């Protein structure tokens, strides 16, 4: 995992996100990975077991690295702060108008739900799609086959076949839309992958 991550980070470069790249494996059956601002990327052993090749793992690593370079973490914090400020202003206005406590609670609950479904979740899904797109380019530029991403996500979809959250209530795109997007992107990045392979020793 560290070898794959460092190879992709070498293509991305440090300055693009002012990141000190660090790649850590966590012993857990969770099939997941995450990235933190600053360049720390964590992968659970459950995901490593599902990824059958370096190419599949690279697509996941590229995705997490893209979250860092795109500064998605900071954007989500800003969005949450805006929602919080909006709620505070709304509550202050209701207090000024003398709205009763019970009515205020109802309206604030509706506001919270509306902000979550109408703003925060769509932005989160947009970030995930953006990270898929940029991350696949990173992986291809490092010499990993971009076609492996759809292969990996088909396995993830099969693993999740027991039931899933409706897409409009999820932080991530549906497996089907994600796979379709990755299959569409892969041919665009094949030349990048092939050039990177040729440039490698023995390529």
Q: Which residues are catalytic?
A: 64
| Token pair in block for residue 68 | 């860092």
Q: How far apart are CA 24 and CA 196, in angstroms?
A: 25
């Amino acid at each position: 995992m560290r070898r794959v991550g460092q190879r992709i980070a070498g293509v991305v470069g440090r300055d693009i996100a002012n990141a000190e790249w660090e790649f850590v494996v966590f012993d857990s059956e969770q099939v997941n990975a995450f990235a933190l601002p600053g360049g720390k990327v964590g992968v659970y052993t459950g995901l490593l077991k599902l990824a059958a090749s370096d190419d599949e793992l690279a697509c996941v690593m590229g995705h997490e690295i893209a979250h860092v370079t795109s500064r998605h973490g900071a954007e989500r914090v800003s969005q949450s702060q805006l929602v919080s400020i909006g709620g505070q202003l709304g509550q202050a206005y209701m207090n000024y108008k003398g709205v009763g406590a019970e009515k205020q609670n109802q309206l604030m609950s509706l506001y919270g739900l509306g902000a979550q479904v109408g703003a925060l979740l769509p932005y989160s899904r947009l970030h995930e799609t953006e990270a898929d797109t940029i991350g696949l380019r990173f992986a291809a530029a490092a010499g990993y086959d971009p076609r492996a991403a759809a292969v990996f996500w088909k396995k993830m979809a099969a693993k999740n076949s027991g039931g899933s959250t409706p897409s409009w209530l999820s932080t991530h795109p549906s497996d089907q839309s994600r796979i379709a997007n990755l299959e569409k992107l892969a041919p665009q990045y094949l030349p990048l992958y092939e050039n990177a392979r040729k440039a490698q020793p023995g390529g």
